[in-house]
Structure 1
Amino acid sequence: MDNTPVTDTADTAAATPPAAAPVAVITGASRGLGLELARALAEDGWRLVVTARNPDELAAAEAELGARTETVALPGSVVDDDHRERLAQAAAGLGGAALLVNNASTLTGYDLAGAPMPALADFPLPGLLETFEVNVLGPVALVQLLLPQLRAAPGGAIVNLSSDAAVEAYPGWGGYGAAKAALDHASAVLAAEEPALRVWAVDPGDMRTRMHQEAFPGEDISDRPLPATVVPAFRALLRDRPASGRYRAADLSAGV
């Protein structure tokens, strides 16, 4: 007589825990494109570590995102060393980041208060320093902290948000454009140094966001598309995983 116990395959499958959902770290995730990307990733089964400088706006985003997926929200600035450490620790606590989205940005490093974008000849140097710290140094420093996790994750990837101001010369956009150009180049170098990862710099195009409105005080920007309209381009990026490089959301959307 065969005394081998009979195992129900359905019970075995039920007893085997599913693979943990991947983890994404998103900066500037309380509004605009950052929030739309967080919503999309939550819908696609990602767990999230999100951050932004405004604690009230981030709390509202956390309440929404937390109803869809496991979410850790930590208010703070990417310029702050301790805050970046907390983000990395939170991602490690969830099993390690597989995706970093460096979305947090600043136009000038200070409140424009309805003033036009400053020419380089008049750009306050403390504001220019802050522009580079938020748009370049913070993202690079966060990459450094998360690289061990991203290297260990299947399909580890980095998305650095760029701008057409990084490649076109617009009066008043010198500080922001120069910082984004520096981030583009840092992305390209990182891609060469980390061939096992995907490192994408993505220009989302003009969007109807609060930051874009601040760049054009008093002007009607209702003709610009909402941030949600470019989300399919980012989904295509993560799905198709093209080679590391610089992409325009408009070109990615053309293949959707």
Structure 2
Amino acid sequence: MTNTALITGASRGLGLALARSLAASGWNLVLTARGADDLERVAAELGATAIPGDVTDPAHVERLARAAPELDLLVNNASDLGVTPLPPLAGYPLETFRALLETNVTAPLALVQATLPALRASSRGAVVNVTSDAATGAYEGWGGYGASKAALEQLSNVLAAEEPSVRVWWVDPGEMNTRMLADAVGAEEAAGAADPAKVAAALHDLVSSRPASGKVSLQ
């Protein structure tokens, strides 16, 4: 039986790299991202199903769940960085913070809720929630983003306790050479970070080996 994965934020960065890795192993893929043109190109490359849209939109979440009635893996990879340059908490725009929580915490939970019936029915049902070392480190300027990822980690921790039949991994991929990191620290510094393809290979290994639910650092 062919495995099926639903990956958010799949048009670039880690999401794209993981989609390529899983596709090379014969997985069926349902991919989503906000940029329709980029997503369609990725789907054409990989023979995947593309459903562009915003994961904070409840109707989009419903479309994604309907597109994967049989599902083995949900990867909540889509994230919002927030304001750049990264501001201190004393001046962090509260509307931006609310939007961060909507994208980085509420949307992953909504997708978990929508896909849990299929994941429970699978003998290999699993959730990967992509987090960050900013969830635990006191990095200046990263308070808004880090707080959202800390919330996602605790959500994952409780989900793992509540859903013993489903593997739940909250994964810190480490710094990667992505557009998001470049937006945060500059392109020159980001260029020295890890290749997303290398990190995706480690994440693929995690999914294949299926260790117990828990936090995983890939670098």
The aligned amino acid for 1:80 is D
Q: Match of 2:42?
A: 61
Question: Quick check: 1:153 aligned with 2:134?
Answer: no
Q: Match of 1:72?
A: 49
Q: Distance in 2 between matches of 1:100 and 1:243?
A: 16
* Corresponding residue SS for 2:17: helix
TM-score (norm 1): 0.83
1:93-108 matched pairs, under 5 angstroms: 96-108=70-82
- What count of residue pairs does the alignment treat as equivalent? 219
* Corresponding residue SS for 1:175: helix
Question: Quick check: 1:90 aligned with 2:67?
Answer: yes
The aligned amino acid for 1:34 is G
Q: Match of 1:41?
A: 22
Structure 1: segments with no counterpart, 5+ residues: 1-18, 251-256
Q: Distance in 2 between matches of 1:205 and 1:218?
A: 16
Question: Quick check: 1:238 aligned with 2:185?
Answer: no
Q: Match of 1:188?
A: 157
Relative to structure 1, is the Cα distance of residues 147 and 218 closer, same or farther in structure 2, using a 3 angstrom cutoff?
Answer: closer
* Corresponding residue SS for 1:165: helix
Question: Quick check: 1:177 aligned with 2:126?
Answer: no
Q: Distance in 2 between matches of 1:220 and 1:199?
A: 32
The aligned amino acid for 1:54 is G
1:6-21 matched pairs, under 5 angstroms: 19=1, 21=2
Q: Distance in 2 between matches of 1:221 and 1:31?
A: 15
Q: Match of 2:100?
A: 131
The aligned amino acid for 1:59 is E
* Corresponding residue SS for 1:200: strand
* Corresponding residue SS for 2:56: coil
Relative to structure 1, is the Cα distance of residues 219 and 149 closer, same or farther in structure 2, using a 3 angstrom cutoff?
Answer: same
Is the radius of gyration larger for structure 1 or structure 2? 1
Q: Distance in 2 between matches of 1:220 and 1:197?
A: 38
Superposition deviation, residue 155 in structure 1: 1.1
Q: Distance in 1 between matches of 2:66 and 2:133?
A: 33
Question: Quick check: 1:168 aligned with 2:149?
Answer: no
* Corresponding residue SS for 1:220: helix
TM-score (norm 2): 0.97
Q: Match of 1:224?
A: 193
Q: Which stretch of structure 1 is more off in the superposition, 224-233 or 97-106?
A: 224-233
Q: Which stretch of structure 1 is more off in the superposition, 82-91 or 211-220?
A: 211-220
Q: Distance in 2 between matches of 1:63 and 1:24?
A: 16
* Corresponding residue SS for 2:80: coil
Note the alpha carbon deviations across 1:142-195, whole angstroms, 9 max, x for none: 000000000001110000001000010101000100000000000000000001
The aligned amino acid for 2:111 is L
- Asked if structure 1 preserves the Cα contact closer than 8 Å seen for 2:87 and 2:141, the reply is yes
Q: Which stretch of structure 1 is more off in the superposition, 181-190 or 117-126?
A: 117-126
- Asked if structure 1 preserves the Cα contact closer than 8 Å seen for 2:8 and 2:75, the reply is yes
- Asked if structure 1 preserves the Cα contact closer than 8 Å seen for 2:18 and 2:201, the reply is no
The aligned amino acid for 1:118 is P
CA RMSD of aligned residues (A): 1.1
Q: Distance in 1 between matches of 2:96 and 2:162?
A: 31
The aligned amino acid for 1:45 is G
Please point out which of 89, 103, 109 is paired with 1:120: 89
Q: Distance in 2 between matches of 1:239 and 1:155?
A: 10
Whose RCO is larger (CA < 8 A, sep 6+)?
Answer: 2
Q: Distance in 1 between matches of 2:195 and 2:112?
A: 28
* Over 6 Å off, 4+ runs: none
